[in-house]
Structure 1
Amino acid sequence: MSLPVQAQEALASFELARGWEQRARLLMQWGDRLEPLSEAEKVEANRVHGCESLVWLVAEHVDGLWQFKASSDARLLRGLLALLLVRVQGLTREALAGLDLREWFTQLGLERQLSPSRSNGLHAVLLRMAELASNR
């Protein structure tokens, strides 16, 4: 399966990073790129449960493909969300359901940084994406 352009960019930038400090800096930079959510979007209906931090997810179905926006109160998690979003933007419902999250973060060299709670939180976000997609 081919990667979206932004996902390829993410992969290229993380492949160049040496060590956790550089990856952490990159993660923060990717998090800063997230499109901010409006206060109207930061409502309980858009909250993702199963995350220790506050996470909001907004989905839009455009021409049969999914576009997502997400945000969190935690800076590191915003970076992880940004990397998740570049991987899933424009996928079909089927492709979304079949995505291997661990493989994606392993490719980025971030799997060791995913504590069980962060990993569970990201899986909760992915499950919510699939849930939103299946309701359409």
Structure 2
Amino acid sequence: MATAAFEELVEDFEFLDEWEDRYRHVIEQGKAMDALPEALRVPATKVDGCASQVWLHAQFDAGKLHFDGASDAMIVSGLIAVLRSLYNGLTPAEVLAVDARAEMARLGLNDHLSAQRSNGLRAMIERICETAAAA
């Protein structure tokens, strides 16, 4: 199950044959996000397990997840944008039903991220799922 925004991202990736082009597209997605206010870059929103600094701020509005995030690494900011397209707008139950590994595989991310980046992506997904489970 994926959101319309994620399906659109998958379609964009289908037109990009080279991994370098996909990598650039992920970075562009991160650059297009609004900046996370400094006031939200606190220990409570910091994600452990990432090689770079990562903050995710999640909230539920009308029962649907909306989160923003930031990182000091451009590719990680892009991964946050990808996760936002995957999860934003879903209910807690829908968030928990997403097979994030399978969805990321549709983008070819599983095969091209370093071990550290893969661990960081997994940590971000875990944080999002923990937030949904607690809602």
Structure 2-normalised TM-score? Answer: 0.92
4+ aligned runs moved over 6 Å, structure 1: none
* 1:106-125 aligned within 5 A: 106-125=105-124
Q: Is 1:85 aligned with 2:84?
A: yes
Unmatched 5+ residue regions in structure 2? none
Partner of 2:108, secondary structure, is coil
> In 1, distance between residues paired with 2:121 and 2:97?
15
Unmatched 5+ residue regions in structure 1? none
Partner of 1:68 in structure 2?
A: 67
Deviations 1:6-43 (A, max 9, x none): 21221111110011121121111111112210110111
Partner of 2:31 in structure 1?
A: 32
> In 1, distance between residues paired with 2:42 and 2:129?
19
Structure 1-normalised TM-score? Answer: 0.92
Deviations 1:85-125 (A, max 9, x none): 10001111122122222211111122211222212211111
1:57 Cα deviation after fit? 0.4
Q: Work out whether residues 51 and 121 of structure 1, in 8 Å CA contact, stay in contact via their aligned partners in 2.
A: yes
> In 2, distance between residues paired with 1:24 and 1:135?
33
1:53 Cα deviation after fit? 0.7
Q: Work out whether residues 51 and 118 of structure 1, in 8 Å CA contact, stay in contact via their aligned partners in 2.
A: yes
Partner of 1:16 in structure 2?
A: 15
Opposite residue 110 of structure 2, the aligned amino acid is E
> In 2, distance between residues paired with 1:79 and 1:119?
13
Give the number of aligned pairs: 135
Aligned-residue identity in percent: 37
